[in-house]
Structures are given as structure tokens and as C-alpha cells.
Structure 1
Amino acid sequence: MAKAYQQVLPGFSAALDSVLQALPLPLRDRVGRALNDSEFPADQLDQTDLAQPAVFCLQVAAVSALRELGVKPSAVLGHSLGELAAATAAGVLDVGAAVAFVVERGKAMQACPPGRMLALACSESQARELIAGTELEIAAVNGPEACVVAGTEEEIRLLSERVDAGTFQRVLRTTRGFHSRLVDPALDALRDAVSGLTNLPATCVFASGFRAGVSEVGEVPDPVTWVDAARSEVRFGDALAALAVRFPGAVAVEIGPGRPLASLLEAADLRTAALGSLKPETSELALRTGLADLWAGGYPVALADLAPPARAVHLPAYPFAGPRHVPQVAADAPIITTAGASTGTPATGAAEAGQPAEPVMTDPATLVQTSWRELFGHENLTDSTDFFDAGGDSLLITRLVRKLNQALGIRIPVRDLLRARTLGGHVTVVAEALQKQN
């Protein structure tokens, strides 16, 4: 997880070492190897008592290194475990105390009975209908059409079989049913662990998926929050909506392994710089690209600290012709830092928030085909090409939906394209949506 950050971000390695020092020795060694050793057994990170400290230490160290580059957040938000990293970034929690609490949190969760979690591309009301009469619980409401359900492995299996074939679903990589009754045995240990925790005044706006609204600079959340938040459902979508209203046009910087939140951020009309990648081999490129996107947007990223030593070169003796492209300085525009949890969550737009593009009517087949080619960067596409087999993911399909909606002046639900999947199926969905609109 840490390799790309170590290779790209100056100061990250030192920051990570500093955070790791707060871990007890046996765990410190394991977390260090999990973050740094590519040969470390991946299945060991399915253990909550290792995964949670590892993800937390990575996020806190990355925030520290990004600050040194000039990336300073106006607001922070985290998903589940990530809320503790966000609170630390906001100055609400001392790093050492937060590490100690995360260690106890991971141990307490690991001692809970096994469970599973299922992400569904449906509304909250639809999810509640699906689980009515069962012991399953809503673990997270991540957006208008993004929910996560938690329960035992058998309960999740039965629900997965009942879900309509047209509803996109994904079993999350986790061995516990977080934010459900299955973590109740951990609550006493969490209350003991939080008893010695002192919350400090927030140094920036701090949004929460547990508390309604946002905490302003100087506010001090109740420490019991961290116990309640571990059990209650995560209302990440509500927190995102609150930040989108408070900071229109903001850029959201996602920090953590992978990019599980990027699709949710952009669906909430927040421009997104995801610093993670779905594939380990592209992690370094993704991090550099995310930082480049911030710089190109006018944010004060210290490029000199990211580039290797340079040397002067001879240029042609004639002036280059053509327009100059200089990034617009956006010193007053906010940055929102988001941190993901150790359990993933399930969907960018051409126009900035608050500045919708003018609809441009065009042939749906041509528009869909062109959009696919732009997303995937190649022409080898046929009507039977599957979006996800071609390399698509929830982030790309959200970008596709927003592009089509802006170009055509209509609203195509993400779930319709998830259901269709193929290029030909997407053309049909768009054509039918246009017919209904007319």
C-alpha cells in the first residue's frame, strides 16, 4: 500500500515512520511489513486487527506529506475507519492517541463473529425493502443509489440470490459485518478505549457520516462519537451532500489504498483527485496523475519537490507559435480531503460543480461509442464489448453517465448502464431515454 506514496511523496517515509512508532512493537513490525513488503501475504490484511492500523497509518502519513507539498484541506471527511484519519487530519485527535484507539478498535472488531457486507446499486428505500423480515442491516448509505448491507455470510448469500439480476451488486472484501449487530460485542472494549481519549478543537471543517451536518473550525466533538460511529450506519452520502453545498466547486482529494470513494465524490458534484489505483502496478502513475490534476487546476502543489533534478537544454532558435496554456490560480478554492475505510465502498464530470454544460444533442450511438473510446483510450470496441471486462469500474461508469447526461440534457440512472453493461446495451439505454424524454 505504501510503495507509491514512498516513491512519489517527499516526506512520506519519514511521516510514516513517525506514525508507526506509536504502535506497540509486535504490531509495528507487522504493519510495517504489510505496508512496505510486496511479498507480504495479502490474506493477512483480511484480519481487522492488522488492516485497520495499516490503513490508518498510511492515511495519516499521506496527509502529513501532502501538507508539505502545499495540499492543505479546507474540510475533511472519512468513511467508517477513515473518519478517524479525517479527525486526525483536522487536529481533533492527537496522532499517538488516535493510533492507540485504532489498535484497540481493530482488536475489538477482530474478536467479533464473522460477517459479510454486500454493496448494492439501489436507493436506501429499495435496500430496506430487500432486507425487510431479515436480520440484515443497512451498514452504509453512500449516495442516492449506493448502499451497503451487512450480516452473516449466510444472510448475505441469501440476499445476493434474491437481488434482481438488473441490480449491480458486489460482495466487499471483509470478514466482518461492520456497522451491524455483529459488532455489538466490540462496543464495551471501545468504550473503555475511548475513555482516555481527548478530542481537540477542529482546525478545519470536519464532516461526519455519523453526525448530521459539519463541525466548524474550533468545535470539539464528543469522544463517545467514535464508539457510536463504529456501530451506527455510515451516512456518507449525506455528509458529501453537506460538503458539496458548503464548498461548491471544491476538489476532493481521496487518500488511501485504491479509490473506493472517487465515484461517490464525483456523483456528489465534487471534482476529484483520486490518489490511489485499482491496480498495484499503476499506483505510482495514479498518484502522480492526481497531483498533476491538482496543479493543473491551479492549486499550489510544489512541483519542484516532486521532480528530479533538471538541467538546461538547448531550444530551437525560433519562438514556438500557438496559444499559451497557463493554469488559473485558484488560491481561494477549497480542497476536501477524504479518507476511505479498510472495507471498500461501491460510481467525473466535464463541467465543474455549479456550472452545468449546455446540452448538445447528437446521435446516441455516435455519442456512446465516442465516449467509450475516450474513456478506454482505444478503438477495439464492438457492440458486445463488456464495460467492466474492457477495464471499466464504478468511477468510469459515473463519468460516462455524467458525460451523456450533460451532452443530451437528460438524466440516465447509473443503474441502467450497470444493468446493460455492453456497448450495444448502453446505446439502447441512451436511445430509450431520449425517446422517453421526447
Structure 2
Amino acid sequence: MLRVAVVGSGPSGCYTAQSLVQLDPGVRVDVLDRLPCPYGLVRYGVAPDHEKIKSLQNNLRAVLEHERVRFLGGVEAGPGGVPVARLRELYHAVVYCMGAATDRRLGIPGEDLPGSWSATQFVAWYSAHPDAVDGGFLRDARSAVVIGVGNVAVDVTRMLARGLADLSPTDMPQAALSALAASGVTEIHMVGRRGPSQARFTTKELRKLGTLPGTEVTVDPAELAPDPGYRDPSALPAPQRRNVEALRGWAEAPPAAARRRIRLRFFLRPVELLAERDHVRAVRFERTAPDGQGGVRGTGRYEDIEAQLVLRSVGYRGVPLEGLPFDARTGTVPNLAGRVLREGVVAPGEYVAGWIKRGPTGVIGTNRPCAKETATSVLEDAHLLERKTVPDDALTALRAEGAHPVEWRGWQSIERAEAELGASLGRGVVKIPDWRSLLNAAHGGAP
């Protein structure tokens, strides 16, 4: 029987496990995760008001409850946990599905000023990730700038404009809910360096901004006009054409009275974050223009936008795992159809799937074919992999070496504790935000 470890319990890890057990009735899979909770970015990266997307947890749950799949939370691969080499000794094959764990940087002066955060840090905070810091994101903030025009940028913009009535029914941790409900942010600028036809957000997510109570969405027609795709959208792909149509509607709408205002800005490139008393006070942008080749060029004209809070959302990047090869240029593990390549040669028994395999592209569903390709590679190699002798039960070996895995019943204990916490607060399920409480709940204690 082929024994496989899948490192990471997000969509790519769960879909890999699913493909393995569906394609071969003789495979057993341990899904390992550093966190005691499964589901990866579906739990910790999807905005709490995205109920439909968060319902994907039900699909992932079905995978992890399969009779030949076992969830082992609280098990870290690499330094400080189980070394990569040791995992290879415990399993016939190891599939790494770690995602892209860090943010791309702007590379401009002032980027690390207090008040400037990556969108990932902000999302982790309101999603109750146990590694998140409560940095007082909203303290004394009246105006916020979100740099980026993808779906994550739309998510954090929407969260900044949400009120207590909108967020209370979600599973957002209580501290984040209270802070957002008391927020003094009334002006939110979401800014892109290119034009509206090149924005990465989807129309469905974009249009949600226009449904927020007490919030006006504005777009300056002059910032849309330089985009050839805006002037004549007929040649654009359908998704970009729908984006342009939504933006055109806001640009042509008359002003409205509202407590909060979201300003969608285009053709502005950040060049510096400006400080006052060692805290960000504004972002300096250079006006850009189309260069005729799909990019933009600087114009030498500048504009400062006031902000006491800056959220940077310009993409993700994979990070190396000690013991695995890594391509620093692409932020991925070199691979051939999911098989890890060491100095250009396939390393039997080592595989990757998800963002660490292909880079941070696509939506959740993109992970399905990616995972299936990797699972197929594993099974094609099975005749070689099964020659290796591995322990009858890796869990026993992991415990003997000091690991304390949280099994599925431990995760179910966390779920019960989160339901109890929500009931005590007069809400639905409320996520537990810290390591100590999660682990205590996993072992049957009160959160």
C-alpha cells in the first residue's frame, strides 16, 4: 500500500489527497498542516462575508473525512518541525502544497513605516490566523490607501467599509469585529498603476463595493479615459469588458451623500510613503500613461494621497523550504508535472502542487487540475516508490520524535469550542484567534 504525505491542507493539498484516493484504491494519505486547523486559505484567506466561497470547506471536509485520508494538524515540515529528509523516510512519497506564503514588496522608500501593512497581515488579523498580530491597524486612521486592484484589494477595501450589522453574522474574531465597527476610516482609495481594462479584480467582486450600505463608490472619468480599452471595450475579453462597464456606471453617476467613500483610482504608481512623527501620513504617486505595449510609463507628474493606513496588495510569492530546491526568480519549486527537479533531474518521491508548483495564479478551482496532474505523476511512479520500506504508521514515529499532531477529532473539538464561543457572544460561530486557545480547545479544554 502506497503511503503518501501531503504537506498543506488548503485546496491544493485536499484536492491532491482526493485525486490520490480516487485514482488508486491502494493509497493512504496523511495530510499534514502546521496549523491545528485545516482548509488553509479557505479558512484564513477568504473574507468572512464570502459565505459561498467559505462553504467550500464542506467539500474539503469530505476529503479529509475519507477513510483512507488522515488529517494531522500541528505538524510543521522543515526547520523547527519534521525535516524534509525525515518525511521522505516516513512515507513513500511527499507532496508539498505550501502555497505562496509571503507578499511581493513595492520596493519604495517608506514601505516599512508604521501604518503600512501588507494586505496579507490585515487579512490574517480579521481572519483569526494564530500568527496574526493586532497592530492597531485602524487606530487614529481616517483615510486609507489600498495599493493594488486585484480581488484581495477589493476584499480589504470592502472590509474597511463594512459596519457592525454586516460583520456580526460572520465568523470574524470578536476583537477584529469591534475594531472595524468602531473604525473612523471614511475615505478609502484603491489604486492601480495601470488602467481599468488591466485590473485583476473580477466583476462580481467589484460590484459588491456598490452594495455597501452608507458607502459611495466614485471613479474619476479622467483617470479612465487614457485606457484604450475603456474608450473602446469591444475588443476586450468578456471579463475585462464587464469590469469597464461597471466602472463606467460609477464614473457617470451623480454624487451621493454617504458616510464613507471608496475612490477607485487608476494610472497612479506608488513611489514613496511619506511620514509624520514616524508614522505614515500619505502616499506619493506618479501619474502614469499607457506605453503602447501593454505597460505604462511615468509622466513626471506626482500626487500625494493622505493616508494613516496603507495596505499593500500587489501579489504573493513562494518562500523556500529547507531541504527542497527553490527557484528564487519564479518563487516556485522546480518541477516537471509536479515531480520535484533537483539540478534538472527528477527526484523520485518528492512532488509539489498548488502555488508552490505553478506560482500564485488562478482561483481556488485552478487547483483541481493542478492537483490531479501531480497525483497522476505520483501514481505513475508508484512501482519505484513502493520498493522503499517505510514505517507501518508514520503517526507513531512522529509522536516518538516529539510531535503532537492534532487529529480530526481534535479539529472537531475546536469547531465545538468556536460554536460555544459564538453563542456566549450572541453570535454564530466565532473563530478562535490564538495558538494557546486553539490547542487547548483541540484537547477538549475551554477556549
TM-score, normalisation: structure 2? 0.25
Greater fraction helix:
1
Larger RCO (CA within 8 A; separation ≥ 6): 2
Structure having the higher Rg? 2
